[in-house]
Chain A
Amino acid sequence: MTALALRRFPALLGYVPRACLPPRRLAVLALPCLTILASGLLARAIEGRATAGFADAAGLGIFGLAMPLGALVIGDAVLGAEVRAGTFPFTWLSPVRFPELVLARWLGGWLLALATLVPCAGLAAVLTGAPSLAWSVIVASAAGAAAHIALFVLIGCVTRRAAVWSLAVVFVVERLLGAVLSGIAQLSPTWQGRAVFAGLGDLRDLRRSGIPEGWDAVVRLGLITVACLALASLGLRRLQLTGARD
């Protein structure tokens, strides 16, 4: 990065929480956060099986639903929603390089996820009575959110209906196809996040054959993140900003 790029990066980053995440969208983000906490409380109801209960709740509720949707709310807000609203030209029409722009938007979104979704996941483990899994679920949700937000930023760069396509990716590609095809699961932030948790927490029930676990899955999520961000930079190059009315 040049000196000028380093100077403008804080402005790009600061724009994300100030402009992309107005109070209304933050209120929507509260829903997945509450779902994560509710998953922890529900798992607590299973007496004497806190670890297994939390593993089930995390596998289905946290990694299967709340984290992808929470990341979608953030990932769409940082770029796709701006393109739809017609405010993205304020940023696009500047000398900022596309990789710099994509990186700032993703990082802003990920930091928000680290401040909201990820602590909720850790707290859910504590609420369940399985504090030993808190570290595992924190690492897994942080890595999963990074990849998910990068994926949703990419979708925001290549399609105008980013929210609809993002939902389709989560439910059709990740949940439906990823459940039966391990090839898709290997590239899915949902399944890889779950695999991080299974590996780090040594949770046999959540393991899935043919998918890397633990830190290997963290590396895989890192690669997915980088690939999505690189493709998003290319997508911005081809983006047509025709205006909100078109």
Chain B
Amino acid sequence: MSALATDPAFVDGATVEVDEVSVWFGPKVALSELSCSFGPGVTGLLGPNGAGKTTLMRAICGLIPTRRGQVSVLGVDPRADRDVHARIALVPEEDAVPEALTPRQLVRYRAALTGVDDRDAVDRAIAQVALTDVADRRLGGFSKGMRQRAKIAATLVSDPEVLVLDEPLNGADPVQRVALIELFQRLGAAGRTVIVSSHVLHEVERLADRVIVVVHGRLAAAGSHRAIREAMADRPRRVLLRSDDDRALARSLLGLEPVVSVELGDIGLTVATKSAAELALALPRLARDHDIRLREVRALDASLESVFAEVTR
């Protein structure tokens, strides 16, 4: 699949390869001929509810079989090769945990199953998610966020090469969210393949180097969120401009070729443009020629939310 590395859906040195995968449950098609790959670093998996993100993650881990196509993780089929499960891990979205266990017991259990001999690994994994103080309390009394962290600790104990995290930030408080994002970024920077799905898009924007967007079980877009946005050049981009004379600026902007529309509002001018790059080049010259002082130039739709809204439209 390396020949396809110029396609943003694929990466060189892929550890996870999804090749023409289709999955359906009765009449419902969950994934349809989806192809993409994942490599070291953090990749965000985005899509609306029911898009097929969880199905894709479960197929990657071998929890569900593919009806067509193939999934390869670290070079093998995760459904056929049991040994590879010592090197991959999944944090499921649902907050189901063995409620009678403590986080320490759960992490120890996972350590034993995956053949981890290092006794300190359990304590380290628990400390990484800041559960040391409650490591001997039963999971049944934990909040959703604490359960998520316990599950993450259970996956981290085996130091997996591929980490699949389905909405891992659900229920986490703001402080923990930041800590977990930093943890995932460290893992990605350390060469682990981290695949994260989340509905909190701005967090994925902060977290992921690369985004895969899945809509209706199909690949809708791939690449960095900026690259995805650039690829949709036929759709106007919106830029907010503030100056010392917004009316004069609006008049002068209407003569520019890339400008589609200009809207004068309370906080400034909202400009729709076919090319943000061309507008950025033209603006300083325009301001100088008309003696206008620019106070703010801000892209309104470069965020992942707008990209997501565009591709799922």
Contact = CB atoms under 8 A, between A and B. Distances in A.
Contacts of B140: 22
B110 A240 contact: no
A11 B58 contact: no
Given A4-B115, A18-B105, A93-B89, A244 B82 contact: no
Given A94-B85, A241-B64, A243-B58, A86 B114 contact: no
B122 to A, nearest CB: 12
A8 B89 CA distance: 18
Contacts of A98: 82
A93 B58 CA distance: 10
Given A95-B115, A96-B113, A87 B64 contact: no
A19 B100 contact: yes
B96 A85 contact: yes
A4 B54 CA distance: 32
Given A11-B109, A95-B115, A19 B101 contact: yes
Given A11-B112, A19-B105, A242-B64, 16 more contacts: A11-B108, A12-B112, A15-B109, A18-B105, A19-B101, A22-B140, A87-B96, A89-B61, A90-B98, A90-B110, A90-B154, A93-B89, A95-B114, A97-B82, A240-B65, A243-B94
Interface of B: 25, 54-55, 58, 61-65, 82-86, 88-90, 92-94, 96-101, 105-106, 108-110, 112-115, 140, 154
Contacts of A47: none
A46 B113 CA distance: 53
Contacts of B54: 243
A92 B93 CA distance: 16
A205 interface: no
Interface in A55-96: 85-87, 89-96
A95 B100 contact: no
A204 interface: no
A4 B115 CA distance: 7
Contact of A86 (B96, B101, B112): B96
B64 A245 contact: no
Interface of A: 4, 7-8, 10-12, 15, 18-23, 85-87, 89-98, 238, 240-246
B105 A241 contact: no
A18 B101 contact: yes
B96 A244 contact: yes
Nearest to B160: A93
| Those 8 A-B pairs whose CB atoms lie nearest each other, nearest first | A11-B112, A86-B96, A19-B98, A94-B113, A241-B63, A22-B100, A95-B86, A240-B64
Contacts of A240: 63-65
A8 B115 contact: yes
B112 A7 contact: yes
Contacts of B83: 95
A12 B63 contact: no
Nearest to A84: B96
Contacts of B115: 4, 7-8, 95
A22 B105 CA distance: 14
